Amino acid sequence: MTKETIILGIDPGTTIMGFGLIKVVGKTMQFVQLNELDLKKYDDHYLKLKLIFERTIELIDTHNPDEIAIEAPFFGKNVQSMLKLGRAQGVAMAAGLSREIPITEYSPKKIKMAITGNGNASKEQVAKMLQSLLALKTLPKNLDATDGLAAAVCHFYNFGKIESGKSYTGWSAFVKQNESRIKK
């Protein structure tokens, strides 16, 4: 019997969190869902973090993913934006870790490279390639959802090559891999 694996891909954000799910049967991936959590109407940053956590838990409880692939924050010049994005990513990771789901982090360049063969591809190029790969009839208006789906597909392409991204199987693994950052 061929093992079935569900991968949840997340593009964290405090304005829009994109996510996508694929099912892997043997060496074949199948599209399950892509969508986004629109947070634009909320002003309270902490409420946004709560909603990200709750939506991620809801996705986990509904689809029972075996693994989570998450896009790592890219380094920008605006420190406040980076801090907010890092918090959004951390909350999504905490949701997965609370359910003991292995999480792998991929840089935006690595995801783009896995999908298009070009680490500098545009969001539109990534979306079009996903549309072709997964036979998607339409693409969403906002491409954050396809960015989340791209993280899941990137993870599929990197099965067995996990050393390329940071991977955590639970809180203890996360703490162990980040001991140097944790003050004692």
Please tell me the distance from the alpha carbon of residue 116 to that of residue 32, in angstroms, as a whole number.
20
71 is annotated as contributing to ligand binding: yes
Helix (H, G, I), strand (E, B) or coil at 167: strand
- Contact between 37 and 17 under an 8 Å Cβ cutoff? The reply is yes
Respond yes or no: is residue 71 known to be catalytic. Answer: yes
d(CA 142, CA 147): 10
Q: Which of 11, 36, 105, 147 is catalytic?
A: 11
* 144 carries an active-site annotation: yes
How many CB atoms lie under 10 A from the CB of residue 53?
18
State phi, psi for 159 to the nearest 5 degrees: -50, 130
Half-sphere exposure of residue 150: CA atoms within 13 angstroms, side-chain side:
35
11 is in an annotated binding site: yes
Annotated ligand binding at 66? The verdict is no
Catalytic residue among 36, 67, 71, 105: 71
Selected catalytic residue, list 36, 105, 144, 147: 144
Binding-site entries: 11, 71, 144
Residues noted as catalytic: 11, 71, 144
Binding-site entries for Mg(2+): 11, 71, 144
